[in-house]
Amino acid sequence: MTGITREKCAKLDAADPLAPFRDEFVLPEGVVYLDGNSLGALPKATPGRVADMVEREWGRDLVRSWNTAGWWDKPRTLGAKLAPLVGAAPHEVVVGDGTSANLFKALVAALRLNPGRRVVLGETGNFPTDLYVTQGAVELMGAAERRVDPDGPELAAALGAGDVAVVLLSHVDYRTGALRDMPAVTRMAHDSGALVVWDLCHSVGALPIELSACGVDFAVGCTYKYLNAGPGTPAFGYVAERHHATARQPLSGWHGHIRPFDFTGDYEPAVSASRFLSGSQPLIADAALEASLDLFARVDMRRVREKSLAMTEMFIDLVEPVGLRLVTPREPERRGSQVALAHPDPEAGYPIVQALITRGVIGDFRAPDVLRFGFTPLYLRYVDVFDAATALVEVLDTDEWRDPRFAERAQVT
């Protein structure tokens, strides 16, 4: 056994400098929420911020709020608030549109910046939208797609072919939780003559990110996982300053224009990350993001990373005896903020997750066989980790998961 007890966990919680943040979130009674890597929990400040946006900014001040409430500049002011979380300058990040649209913009812009090469190098197991959007972009651009496993030796070989225009990788793999070495991969890509686009969906808000220091060209990410901005709230795009005069994306709406209120007939992009903007943004959802980012302004991301690794390490240790295969890398420096496990029987994954949900431990299942558990240091306690691991061990030890009701599939995941 591991020697970890619930009492020891309670002591760790008492000494945890991040512990007070838990009180800033709404967490349903009796629930251990290990799905913040899919949808973050609701900050207590958010409902009030959203209501103020709806009732005062929109309802009372109406169209005047484009000026008085800063609506017009919201994609930039939110981008500036988000920038420290990704190691970027304030003018290198804009908030707007979804992850898919931002990926499309970044891929087309990168292909245009590297016109002598026509290959987008992606990863075999990337999140489907990354794969699908790449297919959409390369078809339009007369380019080609190649996929490798970035956690193996294939990446260097693929780059060595000398035809890769741009590399698109997820910083943390959505299924395995593997964390990629952003400095090394970015350097290797640049050395081979390729640009890089990083998808930060599963890392932003979970660990420190240093886009500028790594020399990254473009990055995208969503705001509703570890950033807790609410379901489907707009994504963000990062454009390195050195590309601000030259990166051209094709969704050239008026919010990306250098002088939008001239209402001229010809598109001339702004010389900043604003050129990645297109049209008006859903400002009610943006209000929820603002509440989240204001909370993160008080968070030390190094402490988040320390606690995240301590929690995932503890969870791995506690569940090791039940014999599930650890899909997530064992080395801390190669691990994001989630633990993925697989049962020898691929059909077992779904009912195990359902049995846990019935016990109040919410994780999720990803085809073909992965049980995912996300660890969010801002609102999880060490005792939660202990309780969740205990529940998982019991569900397996007692065969509780074999109850036929847990095999019934819901409409969507």
Strand 195-199 to 218-221 pairing: parallel
Q: Is 129 annotated as a binding residue?
A: yes
Annotation says 224 is catalytic: yes
Task: Identify the residue among 2, 5, 246, 264 touching a second copy (CB under 8 A).
Answer: 264
The set of residues, in sequence order, having a beta carbon less than 8 Å from that of 56 and lying 6+ positions away, is none
Closest CA to 394 of 329, 287, 342, 318: 318
Q: What is the nearest approach in angstroms of a second copy to the Cβ of residue 396?
A: 22
Q: Residue 169 in contact with residue 198, Cβ under 8 Å?
A: yes
CA atoms within 13 A on the CB side of 70: 10
The residue range among 36-44, 82-90, 149-157, 301-309 that interacts with a second copy, by the rule CB under 8 A, is: 36-44
Structure tokens at 145: 């797609």
Residues in the chain: 413
Taking the least distance from each CB to a second copy, the nearer of 5 and 413 is: 413
Give the nearer residue to a second copy in terms of CB position, either 58 or 294.
Answer: 58
Among 50, 178, 311, 340, binds a second copy (CB under 8 A): 50
Using the rule CB under 8 A, is 203 a contact of a second copy? no
Segment 391-410, which members bind a second copy (CB under 8 A)? 410
Q: Which stretch binds a second copy (CB under 8 A): 138-146, 163-171, 295-303, 389-397?
A: 138-146
Give the contacts of 7 (CB within 8 A, at least 6 positions apart).
none
Place of tokens 């702004």: 270
Binding mask 10-29 for a second copy (x = CB under 8 A): ----------------x-x-
104-123 binders of a second copy (CB under 8 A): 104, 108
Establish whether 99 is an annotated binding residue: yes
Among residues 279 and 321, whose Cβ is nearest to a second copy?
279
Contacts for 190 with CB less than 8 Å, ≥ 6 apart: 196, 215
Instruction: Please state, as a whole number, how many other Cβ atoms lie within 10 Å of the Cβ of residue 365.
Output: 19
Which residue out of 21, 25, 104, 127 is catalytically annotated? 127
Q: Is 51 in the site for a second copy (CB under 8 A)?
A: yes
Residue closest to 378 by CA, chosen among 290, 285, 292: 292
Q: Contacts with a second copy in 164-193 (CB under 8 A)?
A: none
x/- string (CB under 8 A) for a second copy, residues 206-225?
----------------x-x-
Q: Which of 21, 33, 218, 224 is catalytic?
A: 224
* Of positions 82, 106, 133, 270, contacts a second copy by CB under 8 A: 133
Which residue from 101, 88, 91 is spatially nearest to 133, judged by alpha carbons? 101
CB atoms within 10 A of CB 157: 10
Residues involved in catalysis: 127, 199, 224-225, 372
